[in-house]
Structure 1
Amino acid sequence: MILIAHLGPAGTFSEMAAAAFANNFAPDTAVLKAYSTIAQAIYATVAGETQYCVVPIENSIGGGVTITLDTLWEVDDIHVQQSFTLPVQHALISEASSVDEIQTVYSHPQALAQCREWLAKHLPEVNLVRASSTAEPLPKLKEDISAGAIASPWGAKIYDLPVLAHPINDYTDNYTRFWILGRQLSTGGQFTSLAFSLLSNEPGALLKPLQLFSALNINMSRIESRPTKQSLGDYIFFVDVEANAKEPTMQTALEVLKLHTAQLKVFGSYDLTKLEQPK
């Protein structure tokens, strides 16, 4: 049996992503295990409670998933095994007979933000309430026909709830990139993800690491910063590059990076995998 951690409860986009991975990797032996937060799901894999963890790392509309980034910086001995993207299509789910009957809409803040224009047009007077996940409010909808939730059609199917409108995304090209995390260091793949903090907060401190990639002809496909939570103006930088960590140029880059950073973490090398969305 292979346990795969993910953000719960049942019906979240993270569960759908975990199911996609399970169906592709080990359809007969994989078991999904839901956790209340992304951090708890990562901790479970670090502790050996699960073999893998599927977490969102970046959304094409909302940007980086900060709790994932922050937790990965805090923990050790966990690495990216694979990466894949899934389309995000939000639906308005409710037992109401029409959109006009809905007085309150529940959802995760990112989902509410990604449907802001649709809500302003179709439900301008509705009360918007934040939830810890898109799936959290779904079990409550059967008790209140004046309530609705923004979640995935996957979630509506799991809880046997009707979909009033779909898709309601403001942007049709809405994708979330997920990482499959495990304790084994992955060295195969054309992408490498890493993070570092700087030696000092002074002019040119960040320029030196970034110039290094350019000098070695290593393409940097993503950079994002997060506060260290220790001092105002101090940041951790998360970087994706298009190179395998075992390549000679990348090995050189990592050795030089150690000289210009206070702390350096390499999350592993991996491929971008295509997975079918579960039905």
Structure 2
Amino acid sequence: MAISIAHLGPTGTNAETATLAYQRWLEQQGETKSLLCPYPTIAQTLYAVAYGETQQAVVPVENSTEGTVAIILDSLWQLDKLKIQQELVLPISHALLSRRKSPKGLRKVYSHPQALAQCQHWLEQNLPSVSLIPTNSTTEALHQIALDLTSAAIASPRAAKLYNFPILVNDINDYPDNCTRFWILELTPTSIEGSRISLGFSVSNNVPGTLVKPLEVFAKRGINLSRIESRPTKRSLGEYLFFIDIEIDSEFNFIEEALAELRIYTETLKIFGGYRVFSLKTIDIAQL
């Protein structure tokens, strides 16, 4: 039986590209064949695996330019049965697509909010008067502009090829080393192994030193934190959840000790998984 994998669709999104790369990796490992299942929003992708519609989901969690995809952290806290199995780092290249012959005269640009944000400076400098219109995905943006010669979309070169859309301008992302972390999620519990652990916690009181004590748990053992981020609890203004990524390059016993002590200083502690990180290269994407 094939493994079903949810991702943000339709065909041509960066999430689908990441899922195809993961699918290829599964095949190289001799795993069972997989079936890709596109969903119209990231939220629906997460709920698909949480409610058993699919066995896995591939979702974007953080971009090097625009930071965290907030809905992922919020949903992972609420749907805490979901566990991170692996991470895939995908280089992201954005292009301006349109049936128009040149960017001059464009009135609207459609794309996913993350893509619009990752090209913000380019848009301000080159198309300062256009209206920016968010869509559920970069590929959905192409459907919006199919018959409108005054509109353009920001999508990947791969999407341009798949949908036979002319590229007006290539590589319009503000930073050349633009990349996105994708997590592979499923309901299967994971052990604390790999190169990284992701967790979240809340604290009982918003008083001086409340956050210092949990962080000292790692600092005194020489454990590196590669990311720390706060999100509102949604219970009360000024209350926050904290999300941390731990680099596993210390002795394993130190990690176990740190997590045990961390429970003393937290109200709720949730470990989302230990996992390995794989980085794709542009040449790998071109072959998908």
Q: What is the TM-score normalised by the length of structure 1? A: 0.94
- Counterpart of 1:39? 43
The question of 1:255 aligning with 2:260 is answered yes
Letter in 2 for 1:9: P
Contact 1:191 1:242 in 2 (8 A): yes
Given candidates 181, 188, 192, the residue that maps to 1:177 is 181
Task: Specify the SS of the correspondent of 2:139.
Answer: coil
Change (3 A) 1:244 1:75: farther
- Counterpart of 2:149? 145
- Counterpart of 2:116? 112
- Counterpart of 1:194? 199
Deviations 1:203-238 (A, max 9, x none): 111110000101122111110110000011111111
The question of 1:217 aligning with 2:218 is answered no
Contact 1:59 1:174 in 2 (8 A): yes
Change (3 A) 1:74 1:228: same
Deviations 1:75-118 (A, max 9, x none): 12211111121111110011111111422111122222221222
Given candidates 228, 240, 243, the residue that maps to 1:238 is 243
In the TM superposition, residue 244 of structure 1 has moved relative to its aligned partner by: 7.9
Deviations 1:185-212 (A, max 9, x none): 2223021110000121111111100001
Runs (4+) of structure 1 exceeding 3 A deviation are none
Q: What is the TM-score normalised by the length of structure 2? A: 0.92
The question of 1:203 aligning with 2:203 is answered no
In the TM superposition, residue 10 of structure 1 has moved relative to its aligned partner by: 2.1
In the TM superposition, residue 120 of structure 1 has moved relative to its aligned partner by: 2.2
In the TM superposition, residue 248 of structure 1 has moved relative to its aligned partner by: 1.6
Change (3 A) 1:226 1:13: same
**How many percent identity over aligned positions?**
48
In the TM superposition, residue 274 of structure 1 has moved relative to its aligned partner by: 3.1
Distance (Å, rounded) in 2 between the aligned partners of 1:135 and 1:273: 25
Distance (Å, rounded) in 1 between the aligned partners of 2:195 and 2:121: 38
Q: Which moved more, 1:27-36 or 1:37-46?
A: 27-36
- Counterpart of 1:229? 234
Letter in 2 for 1:223: I
Deviations 1:224-270 (A, max 9, x none): 11000001111111101112899221111111111111111101111
The question of 1:88 aligning with 2:89 is answered no
Given candidates 123, 126, 129, the residue that maps to 2:133 is 129
